[in-house]
């Protein structure tokens, strides 16, 4: 398996980074999270979900001002922000497996879910919220009650 590059000068998009995560083992993902990720992944992730950068920054636990500074300087995101961004990517991968189409998965993540009372994406700022989203994805996949 190819290593995930986090410090190269090239711009990494969220889609490529997510695909790299999908093929990575746990050790590689842990290393990635500890090392941080380029701000271009954050920028393209906010675009991917159709969310303003200020809101997406808050979702991954970063102030909008810090996000803009990191984008401008090219500084890597910190461990906490990278972990939340990887959680979002990994949950979207799970949703893609359930729905079979990436667009349907993204739509599901960004639309209000009655069981959650909000969008699944908005719940991914905490591991508890991610667990609830995983439960609903499992229920959809296996026909269980939510």
Contact 84, 41 (CB under 8 A): no
* Percent of the chain whose pLDDT exceeds 70: 90
Does position 125 have pLDDT exceeding 80, yes or no?
Answer: yes
3-class DSSP state for residue 11? coil
- What mean pLDDT is reported for the chain? 90
Q: Which residues contact 107 (CB under 8 A, 6 or more apart)?
A: none
Cβ atoms < 10 Å from Cβ of 21: 18
CA distances from 82 to 17, 21, 64, 79, 136 (A): 11, 12, 15, 5, 24
Q: Please name which of 37, 39, 64, 41 lies closest in space to residue 53, comparing C-alpha atoms.
A: 64
The separation between CA 51 and the C-alpha centre of its own chain, rounded to angstroms, equals 12
Pinpoint the alpha helices (H) of 60-142.
64-73, 79-99, 102-110, 127-142
Residue 24 dihedral angles phi and psi, to the nearest 5°? -90, 150
Q: Residue 146's pLDDT is what?
A: 61
Does position 83 have pLDDT exceeding 70, yes or no?
Answer: yes
Cα gap 55→39, rounded to integer Å: 15
Cα gap 100→122, rounded to integer Å: 22
Pick the more confident residue, 10 or 82: 82
Pick the more confident residue, 7 or 122: 122
Identify the band that residue 97 occupies on the pLDDT scale cut at 50, 70 and 90. Answer: very high
Cα gap 108→112, rounded to integer Å: 8
Identify the band that residue 4 occupies on the pLDDT scale cut at 50, 70 and 90. Answer: very low
């Amino acid at each position: 398996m190819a290593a995930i590059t986090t410090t190269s000068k090239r711009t990494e998009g969220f889609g490529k980074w997510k695909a790299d995560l999908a093929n990575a083992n746990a050790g590689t993902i842990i290393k990635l999270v500890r090392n941080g990720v380029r701000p271009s992944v954050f920028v393209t992730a906010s675009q991917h979900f159709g969310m303003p950068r200020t809101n997406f920054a808050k979702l991954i636990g970063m102030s909008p001002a810090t996000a803009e500074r990191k984008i401008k300087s090219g500084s890597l995101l910190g461990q906490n922000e990278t972990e939340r961004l990887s959680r979002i990517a990994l949950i979207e991968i799970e949703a893609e497996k359930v729905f079979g189409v990436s667009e349907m998965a993204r739509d599901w993540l960004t639309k209000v879910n009655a069981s959650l009372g909000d969008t699944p994406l908005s719940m991914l700022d905490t591991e508890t919220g991610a667990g609830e989203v995983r439960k609903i994805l499992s229920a959809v996949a296996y026909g269980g009650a939510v």
